[in-house]
Homo-oligomer: A and B are copies of this chain.
């Protein structure tokens, strides 16, 4: 049996330019990584502040790393089992005929190694991104004592490290697999995409539960009951909250964006290879790689400009300027490669649609969640009549924003269809394969949309880094000027965070739509007919998945937060000197509670995502599986944006009120009844916007990729062809048992933590409703003892 690898360099049909371009893309990927390494050295050389600051920063670092290590340990076995399964999908599975004669074991091995590579890269991006954030936070805090511009630069460049890692590793992995396997690459790329996505799902789920259980718990006792500020050192949950920002907003986000970046290029390359097969022209696959490389290059240049000018004072302006530089460079590269290499305006048009989509999603996110815009003002107004109207108003706004986002996505798909409806010329006949071209166009739209990933992540990671710096500043009692600088940076970070989520979820739908096409072209499912009962039934079940998944995550946060609240209340009531600031609370206790809770709640949602498409595919067949995916995509997208934006809007409504002058008589500012209502809204929004909402992005992609990967088995062993009912039934039964078992486990498990907050606390809170207000006065009128 012949083995054909590295055919790109031996194949005569590949031009010299193309061979050179492959090398060039690799070089750019490595450049991105080197840039990240350079920035890392820069950051690490910065001063780390007072001993107190270092002590706090170390507590955060220890918490974050302990959590991540435990998480990797929890999922290690599952990853190995899945690697074996993925090897089997290549080994036993159906393969579309092509010109290579590579043996099944090689494809299986390549796919399994690709899976491990994707998983490893995703974990690395998350791990390093988080650790850099936990090194950057203290350095930002220290820099804020002397210079605004230095603080800004450190915060932004810390984010850039993660951004360039994402860019560099994403491009490196995809290109390497392509160079090695060439026309067999789609089979292997699926494994690579799945590995990255699966880790991202774990990081989003685990990190999301961790961060929000800590945050909700900290806020409910701190802000609502005791009326003390965020990050007040008397709150036992404050360290867990700061750790949470890192494991959720840094590690989770980084892994998530990495997989979005990866899966869009995987889907474009898979469809591009079909078109290359049809036309004999390699540009269908080279164009996405070249465009991505140009994006990495633009990000290197543009991110370095942010904070480079010593006269900079407006953080947001500097960041936006960097973004605009990158955008112009990227669009120029679309034109360059589209016209001069592909000689087809449609490449330029399709990728540009992606940029327009990104801008439109940004606008809509900003409209619905921006502090100065109508919707958030409406929520702030609704706080006058209490928490109930606050919540209702946010629910309405979140639902509406989701409609806007899905219309924009629908418009992008329609635009791609209009651009590509002419199809291609094959053998002198025009208008061939129009539908395939349209799907390829959708994939290019995703490529265009994520070109500026490096800049996006720099902006996004900025959020948790400055949040943490601010927290360290508060806890270490830094001077007022430094605190003001940190607060300003923190506010900027909040705006940039919401935008990245919108981009990530839109990319999920585009990638999913593009992968949809694999069913038609790779597995020969001619139509996906909704009017077949099996398809409709699977479609209904598919729609239920994002609901079940969201429910699991929301409940997980609720359960864990309950224990955090009890613990913090208990410590306030039973540990003498906490309230006066003379004794430190037991921060470690809360860290243990949320770490344990996040671990326990991790596996059920992930198993649901992995096992459900396998069951549907084996029991109902491939066409029904595609119907199932349609349901998952639709409801997943709607719920993701709804949850992210409702949460973002509540968050900013709360901030709007916090920025008002404090005047209890006029019901404005911190501590007012309106503020309390807004905190309830924010607290509800927390798990929606930072746990369930963003985790739906990897969820959609995990389900999609599992479907496409396992489809090879369904086709030969069961499913559509039904040549083995026994296997279909067996897989169905085993799968259902796994899902039911996982759900049962999730329902019945116990978390570490107190069931009650002790005798003193609830009595005190309930019997004297005036107590929090009194405490509030006290905490404001006397300067805190610690400072």
Contacts and interface: CB of A to CB of B under 8 A. Distances in A.
A285 to B, nearest CB: 22
Contacts of A555: 392-393, 396-397, 400
Interface string A408-419: 011001101100
Contacts of A517: 531
Nearest to A381: B562
A684 B392 contact: yes
A391 B680 CA distance: 9
A547 B399 contact: yes
A739 B326 CA distance: 38
B635 A413 contact: no
A635 B667 CA distance: 40
Interface string A643-677: 00000000000000000000011110000111000
Interface residues of A, number: 94
Contact of A541 (B382, B407, B533, B547): B407
Contacts of A665: 763, 766-767
Given A387-B387, A673-B765, A410 B547 contact: no
Given A634-B631, A638-B543, A680-B680, A672 B770 contact: no
Contacts of A766: 664-667, 672-674
A554 B396 contact: yes
A400 B547 contact: yes
Contacts of A543: 406, 634-635, 638
Interface string A373-391: 0000000001011111101
Nearest to A441: B533
Given A558-B389, A667-B766, A529 B528 contact: yes
A744 to B, nearest CB: 13
Interface string A548-566: 1011101101100110011
A387 B517 CA distance: 46
Interface string A670-697: 0011100001100110010000000000
Interface string A139-156: 000000000000000000
Nearest to A663: B766
Given A399-B550, A399-B551, A532 B435 contact: yes
Tell me the dominant secondary structure on chain A's binding face: helix
Contact of A413 (B438, B530, B537): B537
A520 B680 CA distance: 50
Contacts of A110: none
A762 interface: yes
Q: Of residues A399, A534, A637, which shows the largest number of chain B Cβ atoms within 10 Å of its Cβ? A: A399
B767 A770 contact: no
A547 B402 CA distance: 8
Given A396-B551, A396-B555, A544-B403, A414 B767 contact: no
Given A391-B391, A399-B551, A413-B533, 17 more contacts: A387-B387, A389-B561, A392-B561, A399-B548, A399-B550, A402-B544, A410-B541, A520-B531, A529-B530, A530-B627, A540-B634, A540-B637, A543-B638, A664-B766, A667-B766, A674-B766, A769-B770
Interface pairs A-B: 10 shortest CB-CB: A399-B551, A388-B683, A667-B766, A396-B555, A770-B770, A528-B530, A400-B551, A396-B554, A527-B529, A392-B558
18 contacts: A387-B680, A391-B680, A393-B555, A395-B554, A395-B684, A400-B547, A406-B543, A409-B540, A414-B537, A527-B531, A528-B529, A529-B529, A530-B530, A530-B627, A547-B642, A664-B766, A665-B763, A673-B766
